[in-house]
Structure formats: structure tokens, C-alpha cells
């Protein structure tokens, strides 16, 4: 049989193959569109509202005072102390700090030429003679911000000379503003559990 006599084979039918490819591509497009639509819906969703703030707490004045005193007591307990010993004659006789005692004899009073005054407090005339300044100089520190300064007269503060009493009380205020230290006068006649009281007005004279 010759080549011309052979019967030609019919071409393959590609219709079914195209149908399968079309279905696969169409399904992929539908899936991609669904994913894109879900992402857009998620992005358009409003964010969840923030949680509500906690309700305000209003403490009574007594509770606030108790907490403030407890916090102040804790702060003061953590400060190193400086003790300034004041003699009956009105002199700074010792500085006690860090377990050491530095003896001194620094007068705090002077006789005033004004007969109506009698005695005058030297710290009112010179900042270098104020007790907290004297302590800072002898301890070689720039200020007393880290310390609790205890001014300890040798006798009941009501029995101190008026000039010394008033000058020491003014030094308590000046210690804070000039040396950044917290100072307090401790009356030796008070009971151990009684809180020291410092006033800025001199005691009444009999």
C-alpha cells in the first residue's frame, strides 16, 4: 500500500481540554475575587472601641492625710540625719553626722548696740553664720538636700533667749531655701512619742 493510499487520521478534539481549562481558570478567578472582597470587608470594619476608663477614686480628707503622712515618714526615714547641738549660751557646740561628732564653739548670738534689742541673732546679719550653712561648710557638701537636719537645743525652747529662739526658727525656713535641707527643731522637753512643733513667732516674754 502506498502512502497516498493511507487514510488520514482525524485531528484530536481539543474542545473538552479547553472546557476543563476554562473551568479551572474561572474557579480561580472566583476564589481570588472572594478573598479580595473578604479583605476589603475586614479593612472597612470599624475598630473596636477602647475599654472604658476606670471610675475616679475620691478619698476622704482623713485618708489623704494619713497616706501623705505615711509617705512623708517613709521619705524622712530614708534620709541621713545631721544633728546640730545648741548650748544654753546660744552657741553651736557640735555637728553629729554619719556616726561622727565634730565639736565646735560657734556663737550664734551677739550683743546689740541697741539697748532695746540686747541680743541679736548672728544669722540675721550673715548667711555664713546660719546653722545649716555652718553644717554644710564643715561637712564639705554643696547643700543639705539629702539630709534631715535636727536642731537640738540643750533646754526647753520656751526658755531660750528670744533672739536665739526666733533666729533658729528663721534658720529652719532658710535651711530649706538656701541649703535645700529639711530642718526641724526638737524640743528636749517633749515626750519621745510627741511630734516636734516649730513655730515662726517668738515666745511671749513674762
> Terminal CA-to-CA distance of the chain, rounded, Å?
158
CATH architecture entry for 74-185: 2-Layer Sandwich (3.30)
Closest C-alpha to 90, from 122, 125, 126: 122
Farthest-apart Cα atoms in the chain, separation:
160
Question: Residue ranges per domain, the chain?
Answer: 74-185
Residue 56: band (very low, low, confident or very high) from pLDDT cuts 50, 70, 90: confident
Q: How many CA atoms lie within 13 A of 26 on its CB side?
A: 6
Closest C-alpha to 166, from 134, 97, 118, 133: 118
Element (H, E) at 150: strand 148-153
Question: In terms of pLDDT, which residue wins out, 114 or 128?
Answer: 128
**pTM of the shown model:** 0.63
Q: Judge whether 167 and 108 are in contact, CB under 8 Å.
A: yes
Spatial distance between the Cα atoms of 163 and 148, rounded to a whole number of angstroms: 24
Cβ neighbours, 10 Å, residue 70: 10
148-193 pLDDT, tens digit each: 999 999 999 888 999 999 999 999 999 999 999 999 999 987 665 5
Spatial distance between the Cα atoms of 171 and 160, rounded to a whole number of angstroms: 15
Residue 198: band (very low, low, confident or very high) from pLDDT cuts 50, 70, 90: very low
Which grid coordinates are listed for 130? 546660719
Residue 115: band (very low, low, confident or very high) from pLDDT cuts 50, 70, 90: confident
Amino acid at each position: 500500500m502506498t502512502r497516498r493510499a493511507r487514510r488520514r487520521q482525524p485531528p484530536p478534539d481539543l474542545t473538552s481540554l479547553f472546557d476543563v481549562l476554562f473551568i479551572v481558570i474561572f474557579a480561580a478567578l472566583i476564589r481570588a475575587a472572594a478573598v479580595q472582597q473578604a479583605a476589603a470587608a475586614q479593612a472597612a470594619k470599624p475598630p473596636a472601641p477602647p475599654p472604658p476608663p476606670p471610675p475616679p477614686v475620691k478619698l476622704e480628707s482623713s485618708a489623704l492625710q494619713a497616706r501623705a503622712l505615711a509617705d512623708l515618714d517613709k521619705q524622712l526615714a530614708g534620709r541621713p540625719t545631721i544633728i546640730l547641738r545648741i548650748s544654753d549660751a546660744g552657741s553651736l557646740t557640735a555637728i553629729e553626722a554619719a556616726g561622727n561628732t565634730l565639736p565646735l564653739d560657734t556663737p550664734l548670738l551677739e550683743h546689740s548696740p541697741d539697748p532695746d534689742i540686747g541680743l541679736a541673732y548672728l544669722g540675721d546679719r550673715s548667711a555664713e553664720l546660719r546653722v545649716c550653712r555652718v553644717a554644710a561648710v564643715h561637712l564639705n557638701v554643696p547643700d543639705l538636700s539629702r539630709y534631715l537636719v535636727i536642731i537640738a537645743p540643750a533646754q526647753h525652747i520656751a526658755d531660750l533667749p528670744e533672739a536665739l529662739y526666733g533666729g533658729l526658727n528663721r534658720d529652719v525656713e532658710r535651711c530649706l531655701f538656701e541649703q535645700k535641707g529639711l530642718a526641724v527643731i526638737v524640743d528636749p522637753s517633749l515626750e519621745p512619742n510627741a511630734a516636734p512643733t516649730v513655730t515662726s513667732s517668738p515666745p511671749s516674754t513674762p
